[in-house]
Amino acid sequence: KQEVTQIPAALSVPEGENLVLNCSFTDSAIYNLQWFRQDPGKGLTSLLLIQSSQREQTSGRLNASLDKSSGRSTLYIAASQPGDSATYLCAVKAQTGANNLFFGTGTRLTVIP
């Protein structure tokens, strides 16, 4: 069974700092990997989707990389802002023909003004 782990569980950084969130998964036979953001009590907002054939994706201050062979992904956030404070979740789709995602437990990020 696919297991997804995110480290660290929580992170506090001062505003303006660059940071990296980590995600690892046990089964490298993934279809794609998606990073989400979740604000307290809210739904999930999709940040980046990386297909298994891709190495990285960028959107604004966000850059996500994927190393499928080692079962790892990182989310890099440049020049962090207080508005970036949220829980960040990674999820992998590990089965073709179906759309269930396996989620990590998330990293709760706090950016201190």
Which residues of this chain interact with other proteins, rule CB under 8 A? Answer: 31-32, 34, 36, 41-46, 49, 51, 89, 91, 95-106
Rounded to whole angstroms, the Cα distance separating 34 from 80 reads 20
State in angstroms the smallest separation of the CB of 41 from other proteins.
7
State in angstroms the smallest separation of the CB of 111 from other proteins.
23
For other proteins, the closer of residues 69 and 98 by Cβ is 98
* C-alpha dihedral, 19 to 82 to 110 to 78, nearest 10°: -10
Q: What is residue 35's DSSP assignment?
A: E
For other proteins, the closer of residues 18 and 46 by Cβ is 46
Two structure tokens written together for 69: 């062979």
For other proteins, the closer of residues 25 and 102 by Cβ is 102
Rounded to whole angstroms, the Cα distance separating 93 from 34 reads 8
Rounded to whole angstroms, the Cα distance separating 93 from 100 reads 6
State in angstroms the smallest separation of the CB of 48 from other proteins.
9
For other proteins, the closer of residues 11 and 44 by Cβ is 44
